[in-house]
Structure 1
């Protein structure tokens, strides 16, 4: 059985982040033998300062608040417990207005409250837990990246699927009409995301149909294809994100 009885994560975006983007949430977690029970209440803040047209112009809706209660897979209970066991907190820490706020409160042999010293680890795990909730509830689908490398000699194709619901990732490689499946290490996923989205992705000129011409193409699960070097470009002069992406992609296609 888990070493904690209940954990509450409270999160608020930085005071520097304006509406309609600013939000806060409270995530309550209770472990059991077979799963991790989760209760999420997320609300967007300071929207009373904006007109509805301004909110919708940024791609939001009149009400983007979200609540959910249900069970997450046991693997998430294990991950939370693992991080809790190496977490120490600072009580009454003064908030930094330029940083997001994250505080913990949990019950084990005693009640512990405060800001975790390993804050970055908790930022990341909290984001993973939110994504697991969105997938478990059906709000969002599992992450999928479709790669297509077309040359005059051959066509290489790989599909990476990462499920936050089950905390597993796999790669399906398709070549010559045959497919092979292998697991992808979950701990490498953050680096993949970092490399993948370091360049700029431009929707203008992207393909709505599966490409047939020579080139290296990416489709991030939305059915739209972006070509390397054309719709996936350097974010600025002197940047060198594309070679890193190419190197990473070659590993996924091999």
Structure 2
């Protein structure tokens, strides 16, 4: 019997955001094909139901009137292995998607093998988001995500940064001029937590603090102090503490 890894030569991911309101609501189709060895991609992303919104309302939410995007090209083949691993470990649901979600269509030698609905919706949606971000980086539409962090203990100041290169699926940690590659899953989970709490921009500074504490810059030029300018939203999930711990582990690790 031919294994899944050897038989599948591509995947088509189709997503509908469902009941999410505009300007956030969107659909996309991402076709991935590695039958020739390279990872070929075709992306069509369309934002929906914006007809009733003014341009000002769209801009206020951080979007533009022209956010639709189409692309055809190649990605680094480093993405093929994690795609196959996720496919092989996924359990498929017999339930129809009602309020938005993602579907997966496997391709074998270019042949459509039928639409599947993954039970692990969040994992597939995150994978698709990572792939789209990889496309944006590859075509220079967006720069790699860089998080700067400062830890101040007594008179010791430690500056470091975490840069996520989606284009090559690699995360670089830098401290005192030295850099190293860190575990992808660990780093992505930490980045996800970084964007979980509430950032109070009225308390933000253009320079990192020098008093005892921890300070973070999420790439927009503003520094926020954890515990003062960065506050937990959910009292049952201490994101601020997890950010401190995550970066402290990176700082202490070699």
Superposition TM-score tier, normalisation by shorter sequence? 0.7 to 0.9
Q: Which residue of 1 aligns with 2:9?
A: 5
Q: Which residue of 2 aligns with 1:36?
A: 39
Structure 1 runs of 4+ aligned residues shifted over 6 Å read none
- Relative to structure 1, is the Cα distance of residues 48 and 210 closer, same or farther in structure 2, using a 3 angstrom cutoff? same
Measure the CA separation in 2 of the matches of 1:3 and 1:134: 29
Structure 1 residues 122-137: aligned runs within 5 Å: 122-137=124-139
Q: Which residue of 2 aligns with 1:203?
A: 201
How far is 1:88 from its partner?
5.1
How far is 1:230 from its partner?
1.9
For the residue of structure 2 that corresponds to 1:139, the secondary structure is coil
How far is 1:212 from its partner?
4.2
CA contact (8 A) 1:136 1:165 kept: yes
Q: Which residue of 2 aligns with 1:226?
A: 224
How far is 1:43 from its partner?
0.4
* 1:229-249 deviation per Cα after TM superposition (whole angstroms, max 9, x unaligned): 221123266763333332222
Structure 2 regions of 5+ residues with no counterpart? none
User: Which stretch of the first structure deviates more once superposed, 31-40 or 50-59?
Assistant: 50-59
How far is 1:250 from its partner?
1.6
For the residue of structure 2 that corresponds to 1:49, the secondary structure is coil
For the residue of structure 2 that corresponds to 1:47, the secondary structure is coil
From 216, 238, 241, the equivalent of 1:240 is 238
Structure 1 residues 80-229: aligned runs within 5 Å: 80-87=83-90, 89-90=92-93, 93-97=95-99, 100-108=100-108, 111-174=113-176, 179-229=177-227
Measure the CA separation in 2 of the matches of 1:89 and 1:238: 31
Measure the CA separation in 1 of the matches of 2:248 and 2:88: 38
For the residue of structure 1 that corresponds to 2:203, the secondary structure is coil
Measure the CA separation in 1 of the matches of 2:117 and 2:23: 26
Measure the CA separation in 1 of the matches of 2:150 and 2:208: 9
Number of residue pairs the alignment of both structures matches: 246
How far is 1:53 from its partner?
3.2
Structure 1 regions of 5+ residues with no counterpart? none
